[in-house]
Amino acid sequence: MIKNNFDKTGTIKAMAIALIVTLAGLAILGWQYQQLEEKRLPALEEELERQKEDIEKGEAQRVLEGFMAIRADGNRPMAMLYLTENTAEQEAIGQFELLNNCQSYKVLNFERMSENSFHATVENCLEGIASFVELIDLLKVSDNYYIDSVLLAG
């Protein structure tokens, strides 16, 4: 008869050690992955917030540019669509001229004032007349920006 020299306890010990080493390796890799994600997640959130800010600013700037172009064209009904009630009242009492016939304009400053508003400083150039500066506030109402205030600077 052939004798079986198979050591069952040695094999079990080797398998147990291999299993423990494998589990320890997985735990270490999981911990490293978690550390990487904890560092990467704030960076991703910050990038998303910056992109959202850029989109909001772009929307507000497009409204300002559209408003200024319509003012230059002299289209009063279309220009009124850009105004809030506050700005319509300002125009009605003569605080600014809605149709100012400006031939060109230059946005000197454009900045966020709050979560739903921007402030612009705009230099208008009239044909044959010196330029003047207006302070224009934009307000977000129901996902759209509107001109909320127009004041002459100075």
Q: Which long-range contacts (CB under 8 A, 24 or more apart) does 116-123 make?
A: 116/140, 116/141, 117/148, 118/57, 118/60, 118/145, 120/64, 121/153, 122/64, 122/68
pLDDT per residue over 100-146, tens digit each? 667 788 899 999 999 899 999 998 876 667 788 899 999 999 889 99
In the chain, the amino acid numbered 20 is I
pTM as predicted: 0.69
Per-residue model confidence (pLDDT) at position 38 = 80
pLDDT of residue 148: 93
Q: How many domains does the chain have?
A: 1
Whether 15 has a pLDDT exceeding 70, the answer reads yes
Share of the chain above pLDDT 70, in %: 92
Q: Is residue 62 part of a domain?
A: yes
Is residue 125 assigned to a domain? Answer: yes
- The answer as to whether 147 is a domain residue is yes
Q: State how beta strands 102-114 and 132-141 pair.
A: unpaired
In a domain, 36, yes or no: no
pLDDT given for residue 128 in this prediction: 66
Residue 2: the pLDDT is: 52
- CATH number of the domain that residue 107 is part of: 3.10.450.50
Is 39 inside any structural domain?
no
Domain extent at residue 106: 44-152
Instruction: Give the DSSP H or E segment for 132.
Output: strand 132-141
78, β-bridge pairs: none
Q: In the predicted model, is pLDDT for residue 5 greater than 70?
A: no
pLDDT at 118: 96
Asked if residue 104 is part of any domain, the answer here is yes
In this predicted model, what pLDDT tens digit does every residue of 31-42 receive, in sequence order? Answer: 888 887 787 878
Q: What is the pLDDT of residue 3?
A: 53
Q: How far, in Å, CA of 59 to CA of 62, rounded? A: 5
- What's at 83, amino acid-wise? L
24 within a domain of the structure (yes/no)? no
In a domain, 71, yes or no: yes
